[in-house]
């Protein structure tokens, strides 16, 4: 099965060929969202610092809205589509961070930083008129969630931190451990290509297949992989993260939010896949450092739980959001 190797370093030609091409549609409603939404989804593009971002709002109920923050950096919200089912109880906002997906492409590295994406998120929240929101971040989106909360705690009702990347030194150590579970040929290829920085070499790409198939996702659909690949901004991913999920060389390499977790005053849900590269013990430790936190392991899933276990993921998160809203509503 083809995995993320097409989507990251090896999609260079694919991504370049899509520069300037019209954005692909990703608005086909799932059965869940069709059943949940009495009001048609609303899509628009919002001017922010550096360009226009695409967003989509699904749902019309009166509960506190939720904003989905995709991973990467440089991916798109496409893979989060199944989470629009949460709109059965509240408005759910899915958007593509500037530079990727259906938002404007950017190449200026001065905007490839946390502060830029925090300002962008606040522009979207303010434009939608939401005084408070639930933030639901996945992977890199958990960094954005925490940093937004630090900047604007008054606007955050809860945090859902899915497959978090909040302690990058620990992530790097765990990634090295996971690489050692791969076949010896894959380990040798990784060591060789990291040394000569030849990340497009066929043997490195084959090693990516091994790693991603175990720890990033387990049941990807070919069409979803193709669509996700067509929306990535490789420049942002490489600059901030690195050439792959286990070769971390970018500006986020030393990021560590653990000193801030003790200061989080809103309810927090941590989720992690059973086979997640985020590592269940690491996520449990993060939850233990956070005062009002709980952690849940999603059975049978790797990092992209939205593809591996969408129903269970939505059940767990939906129940958490409703419990927070219920508690908040009490006098």
**Averaged pLDDT of the chain:** 89
pLDDT given for residue 38 in this prediction:
47
Q: Cis peptide leading into 73, omega within 30 of 0?
A: yes
pLDDT at 39 over 70: no
The enclosing H or E element of 42 equals: strand 42-48
Kindly name the residue from 26, 167, 276, 279 that is annotated as catalytic: 276
Residue 295 token pair: 């952690």
For the chain, domain boundaries:
9-21+36-329
Residue 255 token pair: 């990021």
Q: Are 329 and 100 in contact (CB under 8 A)?
A: no
pLDDT at 28 over 60: no
Decide yes or no: CATH 3.40.50.1820 for domain 9-21+36-329. Answer: yes
CA distance 88 to 30: 13
Give the pLDDT band of residue 228 (cuts 50, 70, 90). confident
CA-CA-CA-CA dihedral for 317, 301, 205, 192, to nearest 10: 100
Question: Pick the residue with more confidence: 39 or 128?
Answer: 128
- The residue among 279, 271, 273 whose CA lies nearest residue 304 is 273
pLDDT given for residue 26 in this prediction:
61
pLDDT given for residue 305 in this prediction:
97
Average pLDDT score over residue span 118-130: 97
Q: Which residue is listed with tokens 């040929």?
A: 185
CA distance 54 to 199: 31
Q: Are 132 and 156 in contact (CB under 8 A)?
A: yes
- The residue among 92, 75, 119, 112 whose CA lies nearest residue 37 is 92
Kindly name the residue from 103, 139, 163, 244 that is annotated as catalytic: 139
pLDDT given for residue 225 in this prediction:
86
Question: Pick the residue with more confidence: 41 or 302?
Answer: 302
Average pLDDT score over residue span 108-115: 96
Is 76 labeled as catalytic in the residue annotation? no
pLDDT given for residue 328 in this prediction:
74
The pLDDT > 90 percentage for the chain reads: 81
Is 224 labeled as catalytic in the residue annotation? no
Kindly name the residue from 116, 210, 303, 308 that is annotated as catalytic: 303
The enclosing H or E element of 13 equals: helix 12-17
CA distance 213 to 209: 6
Give the pLDDT band of residue 36 (cuts 50, 70, 90). very low
Give the pLDDT band of residue 13 (cuts 50, 70, 90). very low
Predicted model pTM: 0.89
Is 196 labeled as catalytic in the residue annotation? no
User: For helices 114-128 and 140-151, what crossing angle results, to 10°?
Assistant: 70
């Amino acid at each position: 099965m083809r995995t993320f190797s097409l989507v990251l370093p090896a999609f260079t030609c694919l991504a370049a060929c899509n520069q300037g091409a019209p954005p692909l549609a990703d608005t086909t409603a799932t059965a869940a969202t069709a059943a949940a939404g009495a009001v048609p989804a609303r899509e628009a593009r919002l001017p922010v610092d550096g360009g226009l971002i695409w967003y989509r709002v699904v749902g019309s109920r009166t509960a506190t809205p939720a904003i989905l923050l995709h991973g990467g950096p440089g991916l798109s919200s496409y893979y989060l589509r199944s989470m629009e089912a949460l709109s059965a109880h509240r408005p759910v906002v899915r958007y593509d961070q500037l530079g990727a997906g259906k938002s404007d492409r950017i190449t200026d590295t001065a905007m490839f930083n946390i502060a830029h994406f925090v300002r962008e998120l606040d522009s979207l929240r303010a434009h939608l008129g939401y005084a408070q929101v639930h933030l639901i971040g996945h992977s890199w989106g958990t960094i954005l969630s925490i940093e937004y909360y630090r900047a604007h705690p008054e606007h955050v009702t809860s945090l859902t931190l899915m497959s978090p990347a909040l302690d990058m030194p620990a992530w790097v150590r765990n990634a090295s451990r996971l690489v050692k579970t791969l076949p010896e040929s894959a380990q040798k290829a990784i060591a060789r290509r990291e040394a000569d920085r030849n990340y497009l070499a066929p043997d490195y790409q084959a090693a990516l297949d091994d790693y991603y198939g175990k720890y990033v996702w387990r049941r990807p659909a070919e069409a979803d992989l193709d669509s996700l690949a067509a929306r990535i901004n490789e420049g942002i991913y490489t600059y901030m993260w690195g050439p792959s999920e286990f070769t971390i060389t970018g500006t986020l390499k030393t990021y560590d939010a653990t000193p801030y977790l003790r200061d989080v005053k809103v309810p927090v849900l941590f989720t992690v896949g059973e086979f997640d590269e985020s590592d269940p013990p690491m996520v449990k430790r993060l939850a233990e450092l956070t005062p009002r936190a709980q952690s849940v392991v999603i059975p049978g899933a790797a990092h992209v739980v939205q593809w591996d276990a969408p129903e269970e993921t939505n059940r767990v998160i939906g129940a958490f959001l409703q419990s927070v809203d219920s508690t908040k509503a009490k006098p």
